[in-house]
Amino acid sequence: MQRIINFILSYRITFLYVFLIVISLIMTVRSHSYHQSKFFNSSKWITGNVYNNAANISSYFQLRDENNRLVQENEELRRLLFNSEEKSNVQIDTTTIDYEVISANLIKNSFSSPRNYITLDKGKKQGVAQDMGVITPKGILGIVENTSSNFSTVQSVLNTKSNINAKIKNTDYFGSLIWNAQEYNVVQLIDIPRLVPLVVGDTIVTGAMSSIFPEGIPIGTIKKYDLNTSKSFYNIDVELFNDMANVKNVYLIKNKNRKEIIELEANITNE
């Protein structure tokens, strides 16, 4: 304590000088409008830069999470590429591509009503059309129902009207993916026959019976199942890979052959 007192006494003149300068500055700013405006403009400039730097620092640290997400997505894309049936180092001819992909951002999402819809920031001007599939890096999200010039609405998988072809991964057993409007992270797979061996945790993916989604896009895993003895089919609860309450970046998938497939199937129906 004595050292602090001695320090103050040693520099008492300096402290008095600084104190008087501060008092004089305060009196000058208060008594002159010009100095007052300069002071407040300077303070705004300082606080603005502080907030800006704080925001930049925050964004910098958030980049780590974003980079981790991109790394995981790229890892998944590479895994799908390396496990695809056709492995080639030859450059792909764009005229042979069956599916086009458009990226979009989700701007509105509902998941608590029986018929949930999602709004995206892409529309007709960006190439979005009705019946395009919508996915995230984790799995399917829904199907485009309506479009405007710059926006589109998507019928979510969490919709009692939704019906998507799905199958048990690495098998040829197909069924219909529906939703019973009970849990926002669980959908139901029906029409799987009782002879199929099921295991909790098995992966469910999109099937090959759809002209909207490519085969093999992840959906979720089997949470539980029971047997409908009257129909000899399983009722399967599928826990979604997507967190339907927390979705931002999505991809729209366009099957370039869909129109031809529909016309062909219509001819068969009419015969």
How many CB atoms lie under 10 A from the CB of residue 201? 9
Q: How far apart are CA 124 and CA 147, in angstroms?
A: 6
Task: Say if pTM beats, i.e. exceeds, 0.85.
Answer: no
Mean pLDDT of 245-260: 84
Confidence of residue 271 (pLDDT cuts 50, 70, 90): low
Q: How far apart are CA 137 and CA 103, in angstroms?
A: 11
Helix axes 2-10, 12-31, angle to 10 degrees: 60
What is the tens place of the pLDDT at every residue in 66-101? 666 665 665 566 455 444 555 444 344 444 457 888
Domains along the chain with CATH numbers = 99-255 (2.40.10.340)
Q: In the predicted model, what is the mean pLDDT of the chain?
A: 78
What is the tens place of the pLDDT at every residue in 165-180? 999 998 889 999 999 9
Position with higher pLDDT, 239 vs 66: 239
Give me the half-sphere count of Cα atoms (radius 13 Å) on the Cβ side of residue 149.
0
